[in-house]
Amino acid sequence: GVKSPGLGICEWLLTILSFLFIVMTFPISIWFCMKVVREYERAIVFRLGHLLPGRAKGPGLFFFLPCLDTYHKIDLRLKTLEIPFHQVVTKDMVTLEIDAVCYYRLENASLLLTTLTSISGAIQLLVQTTTKRLLAHQAFSELLLERKNISQEIKVALDAVTGCWGIKVERIEINNVQLPAELRQSLAVEAEAQRQAKVRVIAAEGEKAASESLRMAAEILSSAPAAAQLRYLHALHSLTAEKAAAFILPLPLDAMNLVSPATPSTPAVSSLLTGNTKLPESLKDKKDSPML
């Protein structure tokens, strides 16, 4: 705690007179000189403005002089402080707005009462400045992925300062991270592009697997013509089952061979294809005819 200077002569005289008055009015005065402090509380006693030496009073009963002493109760239970949104700049020059939650406990009541006037205000400003200083060395992706480790670093940095105030920081958590509208839009576009790329890769892999399966099926069907005929009939049956109103006229598989170009084997066909057609002798003789 903080050591206060000793009492002066006048203060000692007032203290002695107060004790004599209490003794003269005993036992009535004893009811005004005893106070109760709960288990989670501590009482700090000031006598004529001076902090009494020793540790804080409590828990239980404690004695004080009604005319000269004043006391203040300090709650030692865990407290929660919400840190409002404040701007921070990361290592990669990204401006963010974050808020946090700080859990702290009052350890040294005497030191705390004689050191701070506003506990919540001091802790709030300290958390904000410490967060700005530490996040300036972290990238934006590290802030999103390593939030727990960053919170632990902030807690250690806060303990180094609040220990001199009689405050113990138990935990601090980064609650929300708000991004600017431009950054949100760019991240959404990037995520959409990544999803589209994954869809294209999956579709390409599916096409590759389907082509491999079709190639193997074609090899199997080419070795067995009866199997190709059955597969053709099965496809026709599937079409009629899906679309009952459709009218399908099946063709034999041999008709498909007529569509494909065949190699010329006869002189007539070869002459038709080459365009070198010879006229018969009778037509040669009648080539001067008007009908021709």
pLDDT by residue (tens digit) across 271-288? 434 444 444 444 444 444
Q: Identify the CA nearest to 150 among candidates 136, 163, 164, 161.
A: 136
- Distant-in-sequence, close-in-space partners of 169: CB < 8 Å, separation ≥ 6: 102, 103, 104, 155, 158, 159, 162
Does the residue 289 lie in any domain?
A: no
User: Do 113 and 30 sit in the same domain of this protein?
Assistant: no
Same domain, 174 and 114: yes
pLDDT, one tens digit per residue, over 4-54 is: 555 667 777 877 887 787 778 787 777 778 888 888 888 888 887 778 777
Kindly report whether the global pTM for this prediction surpasses the value 0.75.
no
Which of 59, 159, 161 lies closest to 116 in space, CA to CA? 161
The CB density around residue 110, as the number of other CB atoms within 10 Å, is 20
30: containing domain:
9-75
Q: Is residue 172 part of a domain?
A: yes
Q: CA-CA distance, 249 to 212, in Å (whole number)?
A: 31
Sign of CA dihedral 200, 201, 207, 210: negative
Tens of pLDDT, residues 109-143: 888 888 888 888 899 999 999 999 998 888 888 88
Q: Hey, what amino acid is at 23?
A: V
71 and 83 co-located in one domain: no
- Asked whether residue 149 is assigned to any structural domain, the reply reads yes
Q: Which of 41, 75, 109 is the last residue of a domain?
A: 75
Boundary residue ending a domain (160, 179, 198): 179
Q: Please tell me the distance from the alpha carbon of residue 275 to that of residue 67, in angstroms, as a whole number.
A: 135
Note whether 95 and 180 are within 8 A (CB): yes
Q: Are residue 84 and residue 103 in the same domain, yes or no?
A: yes
Residues 84 and 153 in one domain: yes
Whether residues 82 and 167 fall in one domain:
yes
Q: How many domains does the chain have?
A: 2
